Amino acid sequence: MALKCQQCDKTATYHITELTGGKPQELHLCEDHARHYLTAAEDEPEAPSSLAGALAEQLSVSQTAEELARLDQLSCPVCGITFYDFHSKGRLGCPHDYVCFAEELEPLIVNIHGDTQHVGKVPKHSAEGSERQTKLIQLRREIKEAVSEENYERAGKLKDEIHRHEKGEAS
């Protein structure tokens, strides 16, 4: 039997678990109400009931202002997200962020999930597609840097490499 949305009579297609006060709260929502719920959470990043609020609260408790200022300057070499972007929005930019911010993320992940090892299903196509997407993100970031530095020859080579990756002809 399919679960019904907690806001209407439609079938719940999104099942969200929020940690509220340290206890998990399950939400079963249809697509429309899930979109509204997630959008409302993004609009209020400081709300303690949101994931971003919980992460920010955990960071402020466990680290001094000086440490946070230093951490806020760290950025991922692949996608360019800064640690400040992460702890203000509660979202990472790419899979490499877990390696880049490993020392800072591990206590948060353990606190939220209870473990650092994934146990569950993994899409069959995830590894290949994920690595290709990550490479494309990195190349697009590099092309922006090359153009801003007026290095148009490098930008042209990067553009060609992006086209090869998009066609699946990785170098």
**40-81 pLDDT, tens digit each:** 765 554 444 556 666 666 555 555 666 667 777 788 888 888
pLDDT tens figures, 78-136: 888 888 888 777 788 888 888 888 888 888 777 777 777 777 776 666 556 667 777 88
CA distance 161 to 158: 5
Q: Are 47 and 31 in contact (CB under 8 A)?
A: no
Q: What tokens does 47 get? A: 């709300």
Q: Are 122 and 69 in contact (CB under 8 A)?
A: no
Residue pair 7/30 in contact (Cβ under 8 Å)? The answer is: yes
Would you state the pLDDT for residue 151?
Answer: 93
Q: Is the pTM value of this prediction over 0.75?
A: no
Distance in angstroms (rounded) separating the CA atoms of residues 78 and 93: 9
Give the HSE-up count for residue 167: Cα atoms under 13 Å, Cβ half-sphere.
8
The CA–CA distances, whole Å, from 64 to 11, 16, 20, 47, 58 equal 45, 32, 24, 21, 11
Tokens describing residue 126 = 């995830």
Place of tokens 């877990």: 98
